[in-house]
């Protein structure tokens, strides 16, 4: 589905005009209309998506003038989180569900108490 079609469906579902959408996103009505009419805009977006994926960032981060390079480091992963991720990937590879997330309640089990 072309991105222009997605925008059109979005507008119809929310019952907003092109002018209203342009106001919401902070550009002129003619600017939004022109962007929707251009096929080359899609090529620019595809390039941005590919760049962001390669760089390990979001498209938002790529274009946001308030962000710097390099992006802030990700928070450290605890050994428990790493173990869960590896076990979940192994279960998924075996065709099983990933299992419960550590620290969450599992029905039928009481956390913090041992059977006597």
* Residues 7 and 54 reside in one and the same domain: yes
What separation in angstroms does the CA of 76 have from each of 8, 55, 81? 41, 19, 10
- Does a structural domain hold residue 68? no
* Residues 59 and 106 reside in one and the same domain: no
Contact 88, 98 (CB under 8 A): yes
Tell if the pTM clears 0.85, that is, is over it.
no
- Does a structural domain hold residue 103? yes
* Residues 47 and 80 reside in one and the same domain: no
- Does a structural domain hold residue 69? no
Q: How would you label 53-62 residue by residue, b for 16+ Cβ within 10 Å and e otherwise? A: eeeebeeeee
- H helices of the chain, in order, are 3-14, 18-25, 29-37, 40-55, 59-63, 79-93
In tens, the pLDDT along 25-71 reads 888 888 888 888 877 776 777 777 877 887 788 888 888 888 887 77
Task: Output the pLDDT for position 19.
Answer: 92
Assigned token pair, 82: 């790493």
Output 110 or 36, whichever has higher pLDDT.
Answer: 36
CB count in 10 Å sphere of residue 86:
10
In tens, the pLDDT along 66-109 reads 888 777 777 788 888 888 888 888 888 888 888 776 666 555 55
What separation in angstroms does the CA of 90 have from each of 80, 82, 85, 107? 15, 12, 9, 23
For the chain, the domain total comes to: 2
* Residues 42 and 89 reside in one and the same domain: no
Could you list the residue range(s) of the whole structural domain that residue 85 is in?
75-116
* Residues 91 and 44 reside in one and the same domain: no
């Amino acid at each position: 589905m072309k991105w222009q079609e997605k925008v059109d469906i979005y507008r119809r579902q929310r019952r907003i005009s092109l002018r209203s959408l342009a106001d919401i996103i902070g550009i002129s009505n003619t600017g939004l209309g022109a962007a929707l009419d251009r096929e080359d805009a899609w090529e620019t977006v595809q390039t941005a998506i590919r760049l962001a994926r390669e760089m390990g960032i979001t498209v938002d981060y790529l274009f946001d003038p308030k962000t710097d390079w390099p992006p802030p480091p990700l928070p450290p992963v605890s050994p428990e989180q790493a173990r869960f991720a590896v076990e979940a990937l192994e279960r998924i590879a075996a065709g099983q569900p990933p299992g419960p997330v550590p620290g969450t309640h599992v029905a039928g089990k009481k956390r913090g108490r041992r059977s006597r």
